[in-house]
Structure 1
Amino acid sequence: MYRFLLTPRWLGYLALTLVAAALMVFLGNWQLDRYRGRTAINERIDAGSAMAPAPLRDALPAPTGGAGSTGPAPAEQATWTMATATGRYDTANIVLVRGRTVDREVGFEVLTPLVLADGTAVLVDRGWIPPVPGGGATAQPTVPATPTGEVTVTGRVVSSESGGGTVDRRNGKLETRRISISRIAGQLPYPVAGGYLLLDQQTPAADPTFQAVPIGHTNNWQNFGYVVQWWLFAGMSLVGYGWVARREARRMAGLDGPRTPADRATEPASSASA
């Protein structure tokens, strides 16, 4: 009954079905890896809120190159954890990161290099400020005064952002669109750590003009939904092949042939019409 499945055409259908199902399973597994990775990020974000901050060097290895170089990127398990460092802010090299949105308003994040006792530096994202009123979203803001003397900061360890973009100097401040540490470091006269700190606490206290940059959890459940979707598609493709094959087998056996219309003239008259 199912010998037709061994014909070249049906073997080709089977091969296409198996390849499609395998591809869908692969995509489901890829989304499962993404779900696990994003879940781990969310867990580190939550854990960082309760953990005691670690010394900076436990999370960010010291850079070993010369001026303008960057150190190793933070290990995956170190990102979004809390770290603390003490040094002096380099007020001559403040970095404005434009096009940043907080509460639906576009403004700037302000990064300032914190120069440590060993002569290296780590970038500190001190927070968000709006542009100059009436000047447009790209109008350079008035940056609150930077503390002088020794400063101790505690913040989240964040990896360098992907993408590039130029780093320009305007009105004595560096400006960029992305926090690309390697590009920013090229404008600085000392080696820079391969990750930066998103400020949580500072001694002396940070200026209240700064708004904290929100830390959003990743949408890991969206990835989990894609896992279920792709695996369902894989199962449906196999079930669909079996359904089509069964229908073809029944057709060839004459079980699903066209039915002969009933001759209603031969039916006995009902009692209503008698």
Structure 2
Amino acid sequence: MVVYRFLLTPRWLGALALTLVVAAAMVLLGNWQLDRYHDRTEINERIDAGLRMTPVPLRDAVAAPAGGAGRVGPPPADEETWTKVTVTGRYDQSNVVLVRGRSVDRTVGFEILTPLVLTDGTAVLVDRGWIPPAPGGDATAQPVVPPAPAGEVTVTGRVRTGEGGSVPVNRRHGKLETRRIDLPRLARELPYPVHGGYVLLDEQTPAADPAFTAIPVGYTNNWQSFGYVVQWWIFAGMTLFGYGFFARREARRRVGGLAERPTDRAAESAPA
């Protein structure tokens, strides 16, 4: 193993240190993607469980908001998102929220959120579905929104968290408009405390207007993250293999050089 003593030279020790740092970084990136894979898998499992489960009361998944008008309650815990809930109240048709820039089947339109006011005076925003822009206009043309049912309404749907990313909320033609479902920001525009999660409508009594298109549920691409795990770990292995390959090649070159030297000296000493 004397031939491998060159690995102790500064040049090769530096190359080894760099190789180990790069390989370790790739392993850590793979571990990060593995965590993302597990997180996304849990979300997909909650989505599936929410589809199958028996609805529970809203308050079992989302705590009631405290305080007065304009306040928002705590968001639902991660494990409560996508829980199927049922809640009864009255729609507040005077504070409909249009969330623009939402696509369904490659068509940009609006998600329609309407506050459902409960008997205790609090409200939960209900995503009633998607509708296209007004005919003849662009993607921002405010649509004609089918009126919510009057009187008491029972809603069944799945709990979602707000989207965050504070954006402006404007009132146009008597309706609130925004680009994101930012519950704290929307709550400041409403005359009652608002729950910290909203409900994606599945069923409603009385029945929902057929003009609405149900919002498709987007599963997370967990297998993409798993593919990145494999990719980073393979790169880490290739980095270590590369170091070993070049070290072996250098050792063979040195061995070959030692084997040639006696022959060269014999040739030099031979009579002409």
1-structure distance, mates of 2:67, 2:14: 59
Q: Which amino acid aligns with 1:212?
A: A
Equivalence for 2:229: 227
The two structures, once aligned, show a CA RMSD in angstroms of: 1.4
Q: How does 1:3-14 map to 2 (within 5 A)?
A: 3-14=5-16
Measured in 1, the distance between the counterparts of 2:245 and 2:43 equals 43
* Distance in 2 separating the partners of 1:188 and 1:212: 25
Q: Match for 1:34: what amino acid? A: R
* Superposed CA offset, 1:89-142 (max 9, x none): 111110000011111111111000111111111100000011110011101000
* Aligned mates of 1:163, 1:4 — CA distance in 2: 56
1:20 aligns with 2:18: no
Tell me the SS of whatever aligns to 1:254.
Answer: helix
TM-score normalised by the chain length of structure 1: 0.91
Give SS of 2:256's match. Answer: coil
What corresponds to 1:216 in structure 2? Answer: 218
**Paired residue for 2:141?**
139
Aligned: 1:171 with 2:173:
yes
Structure 1 residues 40, 158: closer, same or farther in 2, change over 3 A? same
Does structure 1 retain, via aligned residues, the 8 Å contact 2:164–2:183? no
More helix by share: 2
- 2:118 aligned partner: 116
Quote the residue 1:264 is aligned against: none
Q: Give distance in 2, aligned partners of 1:115 and 1:175.
A: 20
* Partner SS state of residue 253, structure 1: helix
List runs of 5+ in structure 1 lacking aligned partners: 259-274
C-alpha distance in structure 1 between counterparts of 2:210 and 2:258, whole Å? 79
Does the 8 Å contact 2:88/2:153 carry over to 1? yes
Structure 1 pair 123–249 and aligned structure 2 pair: CA distance change class (3 A): same
Aligned amino acid, residue 111 of structure 2:
E
**Cα pair 2:125 2:199 within 8 Å, conserved:** yes
Partner of 1:55: 57
Q: Which residue of 1 aligns with 2:84?
A: 82
Give a deviation string over 1:30-53, Cα, whole Å, max 9, x none: 111111111111111111111101
Distance 1:125 1:33 in 2: 31
Aligned counterpart, 2:268: none
Per-residue CA deviations over 1:144-201 (Å, capped at 9, x if unaligned) read 0111111110101111113221100000000000111111111111111111000000
Instruction: Report the residue type matching 1:175 in the other structure.
Output: E
Counterpart pick for 1:251 among 228, 248, 253: 253
One-letter identity of the residue aligned with 1:112: T
Candidates 92, 95, 98, aligned match of 2:94: 92
TM-score by length of 2: 0.92
* CA deviation vs aligned residue, 1:186-231 (integer Å, no higher than 9, x gap): 1111111111000000111111111100102111111110000000
Q: Alignment partner for residue 65 of structure 1, among 58, 64, 67? A: 67
Distance in 2 of aligned mates of 1:187 and 1:42: 33
> SS at 2:14's partner residue?
helix
CA–CA distance in 1 between the matches of 2:28 and 2:56? 39
The amino acid of 1:61's aligned partner reads A
Match of 1:271 in 2: none
1:51-74 Cα offsets, whole Å, 9 max, x none, are 101110111111113221211111
Equivalenced residue count is: 258
Mapped partners of 1:257, 1:215: distance in 2: 70
**1-structure distance, mates of 2:30, 2:117:** 46
Structure 1 moving runs of 4+ over 3 Å: 255-258
- Aligned-partner residue type, residue 2 of structure 1: Y
> Residues 150 and 257 from structure 1, CA distance in 2 versus in 1: closer, same or farther, beyond 3 angstroms?
farther
Instruction: Determine what percentage of the aligned residue pairs are the same residue.
Output: 72
> What amino acid sits opposite 1:117 in the alignment?
T
The answer for the alignment partner of 2:266 in structure 1 is: none
